[in-house]
Amino acid sequence: MSAPRVVVIGAGFAGLAAALHLTAAGARVTLIEREPRSGGKAGSWRAEGFRFDTGPTVLTMPHVIEATFAAVGRPCTVEMAPSVAGTRYRFASGRVWDVGPDLERTVASLAPSDADAYRRALTRARALYEAAAPTFVHGPAPGLRALMAYALRHGAAASPGSRLPDLLESLGVRGDLRTFFLRFATYFGADPFRAPAVLHNIAWVELGLGTRHVRGGLHAVARALEAALVDLGADVRHGCAARRVGARGGRVREVVTDSGEIAANAVVLAVDRRAAMTMLGRPLGPEREPSLSGLVRLVGVRGVDDRLAQHTVLFPETYEREFLDLRAGRHPRDPTLYLSISSRSDPDDAPVGHENRFVMANAPALPTSTPATESEERAQAGREAMHAAMTRHGFDPAAGVVVERWETPATFAAFGHRGSLYGDAPHGVLAALRAPNRVRALPDVALAGGTVHPGGGVPLALLSGRQAALVVARRLGLPLAVWTA
């Protein structure tokens, strides 16, 4: 009996993981990707001796990467090192605070009351994460029974119906410390002032579990996954755009691409959920509020500025005003800025005596009237606001520039509806749940990626790919290797 044919659409982290697991299980996998490379938003750009990440810059939950390679019998070739230095936070109050994995060192510069509040907030974040992770991170998309079990056991502790600011207030977290903890909700694409309290768990993932620096950037992870996939015998096709999934009688038959048809017994759609529904010929449903997008400046500069750490966050004068602008659909006039300088730990990323700076601000998703493009006027307003914010913090955005490139919401629209980075906005407990990875009346199809369970970010995308592979493997009678993450 010949091996079943599986087509995986989309070579981001979710698609790469799904393809890896299914190939290792014995399926004949064809992975197709519209772009000329794998990795999705996790790209890499080189110019004038500089290398930049064009998407995520830091890795959490590294055990998920290690488990992915182990499950398919391949060594993990990704070079990861703990981010010992942590992140430097510069507040409008003038406070400069270095936060890292050493708890006592982190709280040493805080007033005793703030140090106690930090410990309480971190303890609560850990409790929220450890209660939620088995159901909402590592398990399959939860059904009603799983949701009820979680609610009965942990629901009250998750402060249902409360917002994140309310939870922090109850923990005595105020002032700069409040701004610090609110920001973690943006990692899931949320407006922190409207985010449910349960999203406080994200703080534990970074502050408690820690982060890793990846040599060569996050795109190196995608390259390593693709190399393992090719080594296992999968067919990887870049520059191949899927147009439609053909199904008859409730069974998948083929995938129609811009270069022909590919026969399939099952399909994994590792793309934005709305794009997946379009390929399946399914109704899209009502337009929902999108998550945050981003505005990124990649800039190589002469000189090294010791006021900046490898990871630095510059907070605005009034944090809430930033999100009032975003709710109004405009780039914030005084945005929070996140800067990453990978050349601090990976000298090959910049010429000697230079720095490669990744500078990111929150941005609104694109308007429904132009879901794939942004007006030059709006984009220019975002660029000017970013430069003004750098200047307010005492940094000259024009000093020593050697090379520069911008990534805007229109750039990210190639990977997500309206350029949103995390699908639908997670405002409210139910809205924070990602869509299931199954498609009604099409048992041969599974969905994967940041817009479905368990959500966005590199480790969650890998877990999403694993869950989609499980759906397809069970349907096809294929054995997936034991998972140890």
338 falls in which pLDDT band (50, 70, 90)?
very high
Q: What is the mean pLDDT of residues 334-338?
A: 98
CA angle 397–398–400, rounded 5-degree value: 110
pLDDT tens digits, 449-472: 999 999 999 999 999 999 999 999
pLDDT at 103 over 70: yes
pLDDT tens digits, 369-424: 888 888 889 999 999 999 999 999 999 999 999 999 999 999 999 999 999 999 99
Q: Look-up: residue for tokens 């805080």?
A: 110
The 10 Å Cβ neighbour count of residue 197 is 23
pLDDT tens digits, 50-88: 999 999 999 999 999 999 999 999 999 999 998 878 899
Res 1: pLDDT: 66
Q: Where are the alpha helices (DSSP H) in 103-236?
A: 103-107, 112-136, 144-154, 164-170, 175-182, 202-207, 219-232
CA separation for the pair 25, 482 (Å, rounded): 11
Res 84: pLDDT: 78
Query: Prior bond to 192 cis, omega within 30?
Result: no
Query: CA gyration radius for the chain?
Result: 22
Residue 147 makes CB contacts below 8 A (sequence gap 6+) with 135
The most distant pair of C-alpha atoms in the chain lies apart, rounded to whole Å, by 70
Res 373: pLDDT: 87
Res 480: pLDDT: 87
Question: Which residue type is seen at 70?
Answer: A
pLDDT tens digits, 197-232: 999 999 999 999 999 999 999 999 999 999 999 999
152 falls in which pLDDT band (50, 70, 90)?
confident
User: How far is C-alpha 341 from the geometric centre of its chain's CA atoms?
Assistant: 19
Q: Which residue has the higher pLDDT, 116 or 480?
A: 116
CA separation for the pair 116, 300 (Å, rounded): 40
Q: What is the mean pLDDT of residues 174-178?
A: 98
For the chain, the average pLDDT equals 95
pLDDT at 348 over 70: yes
CA separation for the pair 279, 293 (Å, rounded): 24
Quick check: pTM over 0.85? yes
Q: What is the mean pLDDT of residues 243-254?
A: 95
| Residue 378 structure tokens | 């709006």
Residue 118 makes CB contacts below 8 A (sequence gap 6+) with 106, 107, 110, 173, 177
CATH number of 5-42+218-287+424-476: 3.50.50.60
**Pairing of β 266-269 and β 354-363:** unpaired
